[in-house]
């Protein structure tokens, strides 16, 4: 099987190279095409041993004019890539990648599948009504529509003009995968430390809500020295977070790389990242792989991956008091929950997730 990936967001994510390399390990031949709007991102996060072609075919001025992006990019691909042996196209976003895949599919009679992400659902679809006709065209033409979580799938099926039996059949859930190395040497936690270290990992911005996490920790603590905040990340809210730290709290700044993040999670007893929106939420899965129970945002990407209470609890974004109460609940049956976290994370390793993608690809070719 020969797959052409259209992946606008390759430069900003390490998930995509891991996915492409995992597919390559299963014998899938691939080419990755990256439409960019800046030379600065060229050749970032290139997957090993997989042909990857960056091209500046996008412009800042056509951010929401996806037909222009496709009109510029499709001819470039035709002129610079060999499509002779391509059997399937995988678009990794609905609008930018999806519009390009749709153009190629119509001109070359190729099947394509599309993955939906946070920007597709929570931003563009909700606020840009003039883009809905394009979204319907892509979703209806795709042989498979893949969401990262059950919550997103339910949102897709409720979109006007995108329901029905056919969409029910071809709209499925495949989560992001985890490098098996995250699970190496992990053993379940027997009990939390005193004081309990509540971790936060992510960008210090409004979407991730680090100030809410800090407030929740202080509310749960109530001045009794039972909970402290342990954060990592940088961003526009970093100064405010640092100003709000109390005795025992720590903010480590930027932490990058698997080994460094393993060490960070090793210092945490629980994880709280109350983002206002998440496509999936890899930080929850990473923490779980180290035996750390999690609080994740209700109604977003990670919600629904596990039964409520199994590895942690869903919490409403913007409600620090509720999050504080759930911190207390997270400590109950702690050792058993820690063990379930490790076992649960093991279900998401790339070799297992890749098999689901192989099934989707095969099904798309047969449709």
The string of pLDDT tens digits covering residues 182-239 is 999 999 999 999 999 999 999 999 999 999 999 999 999 998 999 999 999 999 999 9
Q: What local confidence, expressed as pLDDT, does residue 267 receive?
A: 96
What pLDDT is stored for residue 194 in this prediction? 93
Q: Are 264 and 201 in contact (CB under 8 A)?
A: yes
Residues 345 and 311: their CA atoms lie apart, in Å, by 10
Distances from the Cα of 169 to the Cαs of 136, 147, 156, 252, in angstroms? 16, 13, 13, 46
**CB burial of residue 351 (10 Å; 0-12, 13-18, 19+):** exposed
> pLDDT confidence of 122, banded at 50, 70, 90?
low
- Copy the structure tokens of residue 247: 């005795």
Q: What is the pLDDT of residue 33?
A: 97
Does pLDDT of 295 surpass 90?
Answer: yes
CA dist 118 and 121 (Å) reads 5
Burial class (CB in 10 A: 0-12, 13-18, 19+), 157: middle
36 vs 88 pLDDT, higher one: 88
* DSSP classification of residue 230: E
**In degrees to the nearest 10, what's the CA dihedral of 336, 338, 339, 342?**
160
Structure tokens at 56: 């500046």
Residue 192's contacts (CB-CB under 8 Å, 6 or more residues apart) are 269, 270, 331, 334
Q: Are the folds of 2-177+349-366 and 181-346 the same?
A: yes
| C-alpha angle 136-139-141 in degrees, rounded to nearest 5 | 100
Collapsing DSSP to helix, strand or coil, 250 comes out as strand
350-366 and 15-25 helices cross at what angle (nearest 10)?
70
Distance, CA of 244 to CA of 34 (rounded, Å)? 41
- The CATH H-level (homologous superfamily) assignment of domain 2-177+349-366 is Glycogen Phosphorylase B; (3.40.50.2000)
Percent of the chain at pLDDT > 70 equals 96
The whole-number average pLDDT for the span 66-94 is: 93
Q: Cα(first)–Cα(last) distance of the chain, in Å? A: 15
Question: For 181-346, CATH number?
Answer: 3.40.50.2000
Q: What is the mean pLDDT of the chain?
A: 92
Residue 171 predicted with pLDDT over 70: yes
123 has a pLDDT exceeding 80 = no
Q: b/e for 46-59, b at 16 or more Cβ within 10 A?
A: bbeebebebbbbbe
Q: How far apart are CA 358 and CA 291, in angstroms?
A: 30
- Cβ atoms 201, 170 nearer than 8 A: no
Q: CA torsion sign, 121 to 13 to 145 to 302?
A: negative
pLDDT score of 152: 84
φ/ψ of 287, rounded to 5, equals -60, -45
**CA atoms of 247 and 231, how far apart (whole Å):** 14
If you average pLDDT over residues 37-42, what whole number do you get? 87
What are the sequence ranges of the domains in the chain? 2-177+349-366, 181-346
Q: Give 299 or 314, the one with higher predicted confidence.
A: 314
Q: How far apart are CA 7 and CA 98, in angstroms?
A: 10
pLDDT score recorded for residue 124: 65
pTM, to two decimals: 0.90
pLDDT score of 126: 67
The residue-averaged pLDDT of 291-305 equals 91
H-assigned helices in the chain:
15-25, 66-80, 96-108, 118, 126-127, 132-141, 150-158, 164-170, 210-221, 238-243, 258-266, 282-289, 320-330, 334-346, 350-366
DSSP secondary-structure letter at 119? I
Is the pLDDT at 151 greater than 90? The verdict is: no
pLDDT score of 268: 97
Q: Indicate the DSSP class of residue 277.
A: -
């Amino acid at each position: 099987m020969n797959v052409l990936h259209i992946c606008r967001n390759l430069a900003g994510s390490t998930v995509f190279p891991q996915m492409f390399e995992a597919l390559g390990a299963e014998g899938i031949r691939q080419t990755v095409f990256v439409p960019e709007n800046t030379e600065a991102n060229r050749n970032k996060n290139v997957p090993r041993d997989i042909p990857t072609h960056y091209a500046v075919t996008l412009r800042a001025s056509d951010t929401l004019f996806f037909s222009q992006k496709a009109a510029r990019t499709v001819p470039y691909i035709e002129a610079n890539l060999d499509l002779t042996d391509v059997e399937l196209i995988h678009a990794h976003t609905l609008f930018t990648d999806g519009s390009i895949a749709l153009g190629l599919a119509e001109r070359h009679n190729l099947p394509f599948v599309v993955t939906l992400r946070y920007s597709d659902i929570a931003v563009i679809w909700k606020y840009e009504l003039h883009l809905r006709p394009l979204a319907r065209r892509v979703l209806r033409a795709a042989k498979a529509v893949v969401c990262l979580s059950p919550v997103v799938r339910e949102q897709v099926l409720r979109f006007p003009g995108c329901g029905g039996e056919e969409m029910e059949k071809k709209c499925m859930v495949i989560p992001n995968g985890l490098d098996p190395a995250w699970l190496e040497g992990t053993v379940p936690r027997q009990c939390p430390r005193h004081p309990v270290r509540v971790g936060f990992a992510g960008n210090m911005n409004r979407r991730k809500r680090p100030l809410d996490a800090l407030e929740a920790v202080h509310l749960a603590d109530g001045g009794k020295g039972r909970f402290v905040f342990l954060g990592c990340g940088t961003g526009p809210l970093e100064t405010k977070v640092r100003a709000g730290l109390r005795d025992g709290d720590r903010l480590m700044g930027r932490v990058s790389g698997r080994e460094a993040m393993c060490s960070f999670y090793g210092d945490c007893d629980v994880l709280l990242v109350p983002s206002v929106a998440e496509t999936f939420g890899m930080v929850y899965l990473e923490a779980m792989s180290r035996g750390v129970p999690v609080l994740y945002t209700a109604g977003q990407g990670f919600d629904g991956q596990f039964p409520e209470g199994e590895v942690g609890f869903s919490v409403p974004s913007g409600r620090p008091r509720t999050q504080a109460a759930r911190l207390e609940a997270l400590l109950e049956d702690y050792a058993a929950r820690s063990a379930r976290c490790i076992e649960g994370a093991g279900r998401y390793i790339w070799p297992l997730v890749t098999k689901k993608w192989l099934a989707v690809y095969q099904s798309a070719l047969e449709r």
